[in-house]
Amino acid sequence: MPVQIRHKTPFTLSKPRALVVAVPPMHSNVNLSRIVRAAGCCGVRKIICCGNASVNAKIARETGIDLEIEPHRTLSPELIRKWREKGWRIVGLEQTDRSFWLHEYAFPEKTFLVVGNERLGILPEILRELDDVVEIPMYGLPFSHNAATATAIAMYEYCRQHRN
Amino acid sequence: MPVQIRHKTPFTLSKPRALVVAVPPMHSNVNLSRIVRAAGCCGVRKIICCGNASVNAKIARETGIDLEIEPHRTLSPELIRKWREKGWRIVGLEQTDRSFWLHEYAFPEKTFLVVGNERLGILPEILRELDDVVEIPMYGLPFSHNAATATAIAMYEYCRQHRN
C-alpha cells in the first residue's frame, strides 16, 4: 500500500522560476495569503502586492527566503510597462471577450501574471495593458472560482508547461 | 482592449461529469466549502462529505441543484469498495512513496477522487483501498498546498483531460 510522505523534497529547478504574480489590492488578506502559499509551492520568486496587503503567516505558512513579496501602493500601468520592457509577457487571468482557455494557452517562460480583485476582477486600466488574457473553463455554477483558487490553478498550469 | 464578462455561460458537457469527490472529515468547513465551490465550477455532480460537514453558502456560493452533497458519518473502506464495484477508479490525492505526478496521470473518466484531511492527509485504512495515487509537484516551501487548493487543482487537471 502507498505510504504517506509529508513534505517531500521538492523538485530542484535548473534555473529560477520566471513567473511573477501581480496581485492588485485585494478585498481579503486571506486570499492574498493563500496565493502566497500556493506561489511558494510553485517555486515563484516574486509576488507584487498592493494597498494594505498583509500576509497571514498561519495561512501562507513558511514560504522561505526565495519568495520575495514586493509591496506597491497600486498596480499601475507604469509598473506593468516596466516589466514588459524587460522582456516579460503580461498575461491577465480574467473572464473576457477574448481570453484564451488556460489549458490551451502556451505560457512564455517569462510570464508576468496579473490576477484580479475578488469583486472587481482586473480593472479596465490594467486590462488595456495586457498582452494576453487567459481564463479557466467553467462547467457549472457558480461560474467563477474564488480569486485565490483561480490564481493557484493558473500557477499550476504554468508549472505543468515549464517543468525545467 | 479585452472587456470583462463576468459569469459567462459555462461549457455544456455532452454527458454529466463522471468525477466524484470524496472529502473525509475536514478540520475546517471553510475548506470543505471552498471545495464545493470549485467542484461546482468543474461541473462535478457529487461530493461525498463526512462528519460534521456543513457548507458555508457565502464561500461555496450557489452551486445549483446539479451538485449533490452526500453526507456520510465517515469515509469507510466499504463505501469506497462499493464505488469500485460500480466501475469507478479510486484515485487518492496524497504525497506518498508511489504517487504519480498529477500532470502525468491519465484520469479515467469514471474517477472517484479521494482527498485528504488538512492535517492527517489520507489515512492508512483508506490509502490501502486506492487504485492509484496522484500528487502535485512541489517546487518550494511550504512543500504542500492547502487541502482545498490541492483539490481544486486536481479537479482542474481532470477537466483539462476530459473536456467532452
Residues in B touching A5 (Cβ below 8 Å) = 95-97
What mean pLDDT is predicted for residues B44-52? 93
Q: Would you say residue B61 has pLDDT above 90?
A: no
Residues of A in contact with B15 (CB under 8 A): none
This prediction has a pTM of 0.97
* Radius of gyration from C-alpha coordinates of chain B: 16
Give per-residue pLDDT as tens, A41-82: 999 999 999 988 888 888 888 887 789 999 999 999 999 999
Q: Is A52 on the interface with B (CB under 8 A)?
A: no
The answer to whether residues A67 and A35 touch, using CB atoms and an 8 Å cutoff, is no
Using pLDDT thresholds of 50, 70 and 90, give the confidence band for residue B58.
confident
For position B57, what pLDDT does the model report? 85
Q: Tell me whether residues B136 and A41 touch, CB distance under 8 A.
A: yes
**∠ at Cα B83 (B157, B59), nearest 5°?**
50
Tell me whether A127 touches chain B (CB under 8 Å): yes
Is pLDDT at B133 greater than 80 in this prediction?
yes
Give me the sheet containing B68-72, strands edge to edge.
B68-72, B46-50, B19-22, B111-114, B89-93, B132-135, B100-101
Neighbour count for residue B58 (Cβ, 10 Å): 8
Q: How many CA atoms lie within 13 A of B56 on its CB side?
A: 10
Least confident of A119-133, B18-32, B56-70: B56-70
Q: A69 — contact with chain B (CB < 8 Å)?
A: no
The whole-angstrom separation of Cα A90 and Cα A162 is: 17
Q: What is the mean pLDDT of residues B136-161?
A: 96
Strands (E), chain B: 19-22, 46-50, 68-72, 89-93, 100-101, 111-114, 132-135
Q: What value of ipTM does the predicted structure carry?
A: 0.96
CA closest to A57 among chain B residues: B142
Residues of B in contact with A163 (CB under 8 A): 137
Q: Does A21 touch chain B (CB under 8 A)?
A: no
At residue B107, the pLDDT reads 98
Cell digits for B125? 485504512
- Intervals of chain A under pLDDT 70: none
In the structure grid, which three cell numbers stand for residue A137, read together?
Answer: 473553463
With CA atoms as reference, report the closest residue to B149 among B26, B38, B27.
B38
Query: Which residues lie below 8 Å from residue B54, measured CB to CB, with a gap of 6+?
Result: B29, B32
- With the C-alpha atoms ordered B84, B23, B119, A35, is the resulting torsion angle positive or negative? positive
Q: Distance (Å, rounded) from C-alpha A32 to C-alpha A67?
A: 14
The Cβ of residue A97 has, within 10 Å, a number of other Cβ atoms equal to 11
Are the CB atoms for B142 and A66 separated by under 8 Å? no
Question: Is residue B10 very low, low, confident or very high in pLDDT (cuts 50, 70, 90)?
Answer: confident
B106 touches A at CB < 8 Å: no
3 state DSSP class of A157: helix
Q: Chain A contacts of B149, Cβ < 8 Å?
A: 34, 37-38, 148-149, 152
Q: DSSP string spanning A72-88? A: ESS--HHHHHHHHHTT-
C-alpha A81/C-alpha B24 separation (Å) is 46
Q: Inter-chain contact A140–B66, Cβ cutoff 8 Å?
A: yes
pLDDT digits (tens, 9 = 90+) for B94-120: 999 999 999 999 999 999 999 999 999
Does position B125 have pLDDT exceeding 80, yes or no?
A: yes
Nearest CB neighbour to B143, from listed A3, A7, A133:
A7
Structure confidence at residue B70 as a pLDDT band (50, 70, 90): very high
pLDDT at site A62: 81
In this structure, what C-alpha cell is assigned to residue A101? 482557455
Q: How far is CA B41 from the centre of its chain?
A: 12
* Average pLDDT over all residues of chain B: 94
pLDDT of residue A19: 98
Question: Counting Cβ atoms within 10 Å, is residue B89 exposed (0-12), middle (13-18) or buried (19+)?
Answer: middle
- Give buried/exposed letters for B67-76 (b at 16+ CB in 10 A, else e): bebeebeebe
Identify the helix (H) or strand (E) that includes residue A133: strand A132-135
Q: Is the Cβ of A100 closer than 8 Å to some Cβ of chain B?
A: no
